[in-house]
Amino acid sequence: MDENTSLISGRNKESGQSANGPGCKVKVAEGAVLLTITLERIAFYSLAGNLVLFLNTNPYAWTSYNAMYALLYFFGISYLMSFFGGLIADTLLGRFKSLLLSLLLYLVGYLLLPLSQTKLSKPDRYILCNPQEPSYNMYNITHGLMDILNHQKSPFDESCSGLMFGVLTLIAIGSGPFRSNIAPFGADQVKGESQQANLTFFNWYYWCVNVGTLVALLVITYVQQHESFYDGYLSALICLGVAAVVFLCGSCSYVYRPRTGSVFKNIFTVLCEACAKCCWRRKPSSSLGDDAIEQPSSCLDFAMYRYGGNFQEGTVNEVKKVLKIICVFLTMVPYWMVYFQMETTFLLQGLHMNLNLPVESANVTVDCNPQNSTGNDDPNNIASKPPKLVAAWLSIFDVIFVIILIPVFDRFIYPRLAKAGRPMGFVLRVSLGMMIAASAVCVAGVVEHYRLKSVYQNDSLPCCRHTAQQKIGRTVYNAAEMSVLWQIPQYALIGLSEVFASIAALEFAYLMAPKSAKGIIMGLFYLFTGVGSFIGFASMAIFQGYWFGPYDSGNINCRLPCTENGGKFEIKLKCHLDNYFFFLAGIEVLGLLLFLFVVKICRIQNEISAVVRQKSQPQIISRRSVTERLKSPVSLQRQSSSDISVT
């Protein structure tokens, strides 16, 4: 049945609401969706927020950079599967069934996390995998830098790497389709309401995402670091199970949009035909008449009937719109590279700063032994108390800024700017978000610069470290005396950038997507987010051995090799995480310039204004016009651009 048949009567069967306003079912459906999102985010960030620490400590004891690679792999696969999840929802299962399937896979994958921490007997033997005992100070620095480089571990050489990557892959496959479908599925529940209602839903959707993230980072990461990862993952598994139950309970109130079929075949056919005719520069047939002959505005126009093609004008216009959306998504890849630093390099930086309260001074020791420049200290020889603060807690400042600022902007700032005739549009919001993200990694670079200076305070003795040994589980982190609270500004700036760039991009993805491809477009949005994660993975690998230590088990303070030759110290490599942060800032500035260029060339602002004007104009469709449309052979993939709906 065509989607527009619901406009025949006063009762909207698709949206489940009366013509006079939203009904009770709409509110129940929205509430179930938002609660499901909140609980799912608790489970997701219980894993993502502390995965580096989980793998870097007992019993697995992965090197810190391999642990970060695993997290970036998890993010990349998860966001990549978002694209395929949107495709499956639009072509095969529909959004509701796709969400149920993703929750099932999610639960199975998450069930393996507590099992991976369940012991069979003593000495420690585990149900799923028995990790190897880590060895400490494996390499003598006198062997030279090349010897260390030759012994560098890959992520797949770590303890139980097969199990860990298998579990992460399964959870990523479950979380990806959920992410791409839950937002458009929730937006379907407010179909027929105003543009402001649509904007409000996405704002509160993002608010619920961050509430769930806050609970995960504040409560569950504390349990993981100070109690056990088993208890933390078990709590998150329960939240995910409750989310599945809540989602099922709302099924009697949901709007169920039928699957629309794949638009990729249509897009590919249009592109092939347009490129072939554009290359040959075929002129329009004279049988069309002189009045019909006009110069095409782009190569894609050659696929239209009026220029001798085989497609309707509306179909080609939709293909143009999809390509413009992809171009915008591509320019945001540098932003996502910066965004994913919160759970990776920001977290690792925090683990090497003083995790005690500011009133408590760090127990700093001076170590001038070159052999301690790599590897962990033996935790059996360290009798320090566990730190009181949790490194993952610093992400809370990102979340707090988002939670506070979203209602402020939604209820006060945006309406007042619009009323004053100066609305804050998509381009301005994304540009501000990108600039703030660049400033966030600049601040992180400055913090890291001073952190390293506090570790190596004496220039005449460049190999002498001034560090406090922080014991977390069975891993010892050689931390600077500098308080971890100096990280607050960089996390807060990332949160402020989200309020502008991330929400605007999410709204843009749903607003501009053709009606027959909303799930796929949302999947593309998350696909390019995953591309940012994979490129971040690659950039870290490129600088391994230059700015990052070639072998590292929780120590980013390396100076290799640190040997004395004729009264002078020889240092061929210094770890410089600060340089990597400044590199990311430069990449983000280039991304901003590319974004502004694409917006101008593709006339994105004009496209958005046109769609918004269409939504503000009431459409009156009679029974006769609806009946004629139902009899029309034109498929959903060939609807005109005037059929594109925000909701």
- Do 462 and 564 share a structural domain? yes
Q: Is residue 536 part of a domain?
A: yes
Same domain, 229 and 300: no
The domain in which residue 351 lies consists of 13-262+332-616
Asked if the model's pLDDT at residue 150 lies above 50, the reply is: no
**In 10 A of CB 554, how many CB atoms?**
25
Q: Specify whether the backbone of 473 is left (phi greater than 0), alpha (psi in -120 to 50) or beta.
A: left
Each residue of 454-483: b (16+ CB within 10 Å) or e? bbbeeeeeebbbbbbbbbbbbbbbbbbbbb
CA dihedral in degrees (47, 53, 57, 63; nearest 10)?
Answer: 110
Q: Domain check: are 256 and 269 in the same one?
A: no
Asked whether residue 628 is assigned to any structural domain, the reply reads no
Q: Residue 285: pLDDT band by 50, 70, 90 thresholds?
A: very low
Same domain, 21 and 31: yes
| Residue where a domain terminates, one of 285, 316, 331 | 331
- 344 and 283 both lie in a single domain: no
Do both 435 and 316 map to the same domain?
Answer: no
629 located within any domain = no
User: Buried b vs exposed e over 242-256: b needs ≥16 C-beta within 10 Å?
Assistant: bbbebbeebeebbbe
Q: Is residue 640 domain-resident?
A: no
pLDDT of residue 595 exceeding 90: yes
Residue entry with tokens 């309020």: 499
pLDDT of residue 263: 67
Give the least confident one: 30-39, 212-221, 457-466, 489-498: 457-466
Q: Is residue 105 domain-resident?
A: yes
- The residue among 303, 331, 359 that closes a domain is 331
What's the CA gap between 171 and 54, in Å, rounded? 16
Q: What is the DSSP letter of 286?
A: G
Distance CA 121, CA 145 (A): 41
Classified as helix, coil or strand, 294 is coil
Residue 320 and residue 431 in one domain: no
In a shared domain, residues 382 and 277:
no
Q: Which of 303-312, 397-406, 547-556 has the lowest mean pLDDT?
A: 547-556
The reply to whether 369 and 418 lie within a common domain is yes
CATH classification of the domain holding 197 = 1.20.1250.20
Closest CA to 190 of 526, 495, 598, 646: 646
Mean pLDDT of 178-201: 74
* Domain edge (last residue) among 331, 348, 369: 331
CB atoms within 10 A of CB 633: 5
- Number of domains the chain contains: 2
Q: Decide if 375 is inside a domain.
A: yes
Rounded Cα distance between 31 and 44, Å, is: 20
Query: pLDDT band for position 545 (50/70/90)?
Result: confident
| 559, β-bridge pairs | 574
What is the distance between the alpha carbons of residues 480 and 127, in angstroms, rounded to a whole number? 38
Is residue 89 in a domain? yes
- How is residue 301 annotated by DSSP? G
- 273/382 same-domain check: no
pLDDT tens figures, 87-134: 888 778 888 888 999 999 999 999 888 887 776 656 666 666 766 655
630: in domain = no
Alpha carbon distance 565, 579 (integer Å): 28
| Predicted local distance difference test score (pLDDT) of residue 519 | 64
Is the domain of 243 the same as that of 271?
A: no
Residues 318 and 208 in one domain: no
Higher pLDDT: 194 or 411? It is: 411
